[in-house]
Structure 1
Amino acid sequence: MTAFNPITISCFKAYDVRGELDVNLDNAIAYRIGRAFAQYLNDGKENPVIVVGSDIRPSSESLKQSAIDGITDAGIDVIDLGMVGTEEVYFATSHYNAIGGIEVTASHNPINYNGLKMVRENSRPISGDTGLADIRAIAERGEFVVADKGRVTLNTDKTAYIDKLMSFTDTTKFTPKKIVVNSGNGSAGPVVDELQKRLGDNIELIKVHHTPDGSFPNGIPNPMIIANQKATSDAVIAHGADFGVAFDGDFDRCFLFDEKGRFIEGSYIVGMLAEVFLKKHQGESIVYDPRVIYNTENVIAQNGGTPAISKSGHSFIKQVMRETRAIYGGEMSAHHYFRDFAYCDSGMIVWLLVIELLSVTGKTLSELVNGHINDFPSSGELNFRLGQKTASEISELLEQKYHSSNPAKNTLDGLSLDFGNWRFNLRSSNTEPLIRLNIETKGDKALLKTKTDEILAVLDECGAVSADH
């Protein structure tokens, strides 16, 4: 046993590690986490291996090497994937029969942040109650098993991963399409280049902010920020594209724009993809989160599917998907999960499916979603920093305000109140110090505005400040 000084590590979150560089995350902490991760997962399997990758941030390579040092000092071999997106680690963990995988990334967080996303065998998520707390405890205690040092193999070959992505679609059905792809100067660019070789001459890609650049010269790649949507939207309009795609930094989320350059809220994409899968596989389960549900539940019912609601967050969605053997799961935050991708989320599979869908139906993206948007209008996710009231205190105030209407109440994830013709969900973020509000109605845009204004007035009285600008 090798003993390090005990320390407190504060960068562990609900289902990953995320911290501010040289404040609560540095190379020494990454080493401890890597070694604790390997020690926790090592179950005596013969020739165990862990796959590790990192995004394009300047700090990611050194943090990755520190984590690798920790893993190999624990006696576990490492496959270093190089610069990759999170879903490439998910894929490689299962593909190489690894006992675990780590992606060093801070996704869409500010440049002075970084983190580690971890999975165990078969790409199963690790969250606070499924191992993350144990890994933290080992890392903090610094009591590490002594072992012969593991070996490191560099493997940057993406062939098997690209093959897997392409297995979700049929390129023989593709009709000519022009697509704007905004990689946000993140990790997506090299994968887009490899996919382009497989898509055929019918598919023209207009690449925006394509070159990986950890200084993020065009801003942190977070397409949820309205200002960041302009580059993709403008390019779609300028090039007369059929649709646009934008990725976050580690491209586990995929955001879509229609042929008019309009940003499409994630919940409508969940409904659209649910319909795609149910038309091919009727009766299958579809998993979705409780933030915005009307359209998704309607699509599932109309297409003979089985609804399965889950708390928001990838570890919860993946668990419910495994329990129900769901073929597809989606969150309005633009995470999309696939049974045949080890129940993991992929930003790349989404736009490949959209190419085929537009080709087969002969419809534009706006034609595919407009009816759903009109039938079930929603506010989009509104984010707030808390003031003098806590999230639970605000929820209590809203319950009191609407008590006389006798709404159906659900507390699976925050507070959901459903009044029959409209509903809202208010929840605390698992990844940021924010509360998030979503409101939706059944075909009534005027009611949507009225109820949005009502709830915003309550939040304002509580000192909550918008975080969306």
Structure 2
Amino acid sequence: MDLSCFKAYDLRGRVPDQLNPALAERIGRAYVEITGAKRVIVGYDIRLSSPDIAEALSSGLMAAGADVFDIGLCGTEMVYFATSHYGMDGGIMVTASHNPKDHNGMKMVGPESRPISSDNGLNDIRNRVPEPFADAPEQGRYEPLEVMSAYIDHLLGYVDATALKPMTLVVNAGNGGAGLVIDELEQHLPFEFVKVHHEPDGHFPNGVPNPILPENRSATADAVIAQGAAMGIAWDGDYDRCFFFDENGRFIEGYYIVGLLADQFLRKTGGGKVIHDPRLTWNTLDLVAAAGGQAIESKTGHAFIKQRMRDEDAAYGGEMSAHHYFRDFAYCDSGMIPWLLVAERLCQSGQTLSSLIDARIDAYPASGEINRTIADPPKVIAAIEAKYGVGANKVSHVDGVSIEFDDWRFNLRMSNTEPVVRLNVESRADIPLMEAKTEELLAEMERLNG
């Protein structure tokens, strides 16, 4: 049995050879046996294979004795919301996010929407799948569950409706699921939405929804300029990540959005803790301190960030990869809450998005994440640390290695999922220095790689 769809954090694979309804049915049975869940939320994304896989998954869950609450076509965050909001034992989202259109997968959570990954149950589920199963003495029941209205109410609770003013926003769902939510929110907000690639379509007529790829950004950027919009927002397929464009159509690096959201959230809460990843940090540290908060560094990756947020009871957590996490959202990531907060900030401040961001880019220019394929990543990272660690102000190993000097710093880490090394460099208000150090490090990596 091919179980290669089981990854570190979730399941992803090609349909039908790596994931199909027959395997999904067995995964449902194994999930119940390993977790003991009795009431499980099931939702699915816009992929053409998703309804069949979700139906088979539900059959397996019920055969093993669990009640299935089917929330239908949705985004990943709606499974997180429904699982915690309705006090369920777990939830499973059928999605492959931004993978190619012939792929599918699953994201699993337990009670309170705590992530299930390879170190807390996912490997056990994988190992149970090939073994024989017996039906539970009593079959679980099936119940459709309408979640959208409660979810929309929850989203609107993050912003002060009286502060919102009319403005034009470009929204690009990438033919994923985000458009369905925008249509619901539209009835409650004073904004005019210019909708690009809006209709859910699993054929992905405009390419796979992944705005992190530069070639996928022009549709949003061009519409912002053409419509004179205040900003543009684009999502990936299951809309747990959102990406921003300023009023000039410029794509904004996720790092600067983390700082903006941390600042906006701490203004509301009057302080509190913010979790961030170690790749780029100075801008976030600066803004969090100025807003009376406490910044805490965590290893990159949603399972690590969510656990650290629970441990610290943090109000907000952000990764430069465009994942944003909220305490009142079961410590989970949402692609809808961030843009609502940014829109609220534009209305309250009367500033443009570029003016809010430009000052931060000037203060802490960054390289953005640069990936290089390296034959022996641990060897190269160790050699870089040996060379640059001498005379550094600080060397940290929260995730890979982070090395800081007075006026510049960098993080170098291995990917969790592929044979690449990821580099991020930033400086204090010195673009030429940041660029020179980036070139220098890349040349050194190249030399070490032979």
* TM-score (structure 1 length as normaliser): 0.92
CA contact (8 A) 1:39 1:144 kept: no
Task: For structure 1, list consecutive stretches of 5 or more residues without a partner in the other structure.
Answer: 1-6, 465-469
Q: Give the deviation of 1:23 after TM superposition.
A: 3.4
SS in structure 2 of the partner of residue 141 of structure 1: coil
Q: In the alignment, residue 331 of structure 2 is paired with which amino acid?
A: Y
Q: Give the deviation of 1:157 after TM superposition.
A: 4.5
**Cα deviation 1:366-421 (Å, max 9, x = unaligned):** 111111111001011122333xx222122023123324444522222122222232
Matches within 5 A, 1:347-386: 347-386=335-374
- Among 279, 292, 304, the residue aligned to 1:291: 279
CA contact (8 A) 2:380 2:449 kept: no
Partner of 1:276: 264
Q: Give the deviation of 1:160 after TM superposition.
A: 0.5
Q: In the alignment, residue 414 of structure 2 is paired with which amino acid?
A: S
Q: In the alignment, residue 407 of structure 2 is paired with which amino acid?
A: N
SS in structure 2 of the partner of residue 356 of structure 1: helix
- Among 31, 39, 42, the residue aligned to 1:37: 31
Partner of 1:97: 87
Partner of 1:456: 442
Q: Give the deviation of 1:20 after TM superposition.
A: 2.4
Measure, in 2, the Cα distance between the counterparts of 1:210 and 1:90.
Answer: 23
Partner of 1:341: 329
Given the superposition, is the C-alpha separation of residues 463 and 364 from structure 1 closer, same or farther in structure 2, using an over 3 Å criterion? same
Partner of 1:411: 397
Measure, in 2, the Cα distance between the counterparts of 1:432 and 1:13.
Answer: 11
Partner of 1:435: 421
In the alignment, does 2:253 pair up with 1:253?
A: no
Q: Give the deviation of 1:124 after TM superposition.
A: 1.0
- Among 4, 8, 11, the residue aligned to 2:5: 11
Q: Give the deviation of 1:199 after TM superposition.
A: 0.7
Measure, in 2, the Cα distance between the counterparts of 1:154 and 1:330.
Answer: 33
Partner of 1:320: 308
CA RMSD of superposed structures (Å): 1.7
Measure, in 1, the Cα distance between the counterparts of 2:385 and 2:266.
Answer: 36
Task: For structure 2, list consecutive stretches of 5 or more residues without a partner in the other structure.
Answer: none
Given the superposition, is the C-alpha separation of residues 296 and 144 from structure 1 closer, same or farther in structure 2, using an over 3 Å criterion? farther
Q: Percent of aligned pairs with the same residue?
A: 51
Partner of 1:399: 385
- Among 376, 394, 412, the residue aligned to 1:426: 412
CA contact (8 A) 2:82 2:147 kept: no
Q: Number of paired residues?
A: 450
CA contact (8 A) 1:33 1:70 kept: yes
Measure, in 2, the Cα distance between the counterparts of 1:196 and 1:440.
Answer: 38
Higher mean displacement: 403-412 or 219-228: 403-412
Partner of 1:152: 142
Measure, in 2, the Cα distance between the counterparts of 1:37 and 1:376.
Answer: 45
Q: Give the deviation of 1:433 after TM superposition.
A: 4.6
In the alignment, does 2:171 pair up with 1:181?
A: yes
* TM-score (structure 2 length as normaliser): 0.96
Q: Give the deviation of 1:356 after TM superposition.
A: 1.0
Q: Give the deviation of 1:105 after TM superposition.
A: 0.7
Partner of 1:119: 109
SS in structure 2 of the partner of residue 137 of structure 1: helix
SS in structure 1 of the partner of residue 399 of structure 2: coil
**Cα deviation 1:320-346 (Å, max 9, x = unaligned):** 111111111100001111111111111
CA contact (8 A) 1:75 1:147 kept: yes
- Among 66, 70, 79, the residue aligned to 2:60: 70
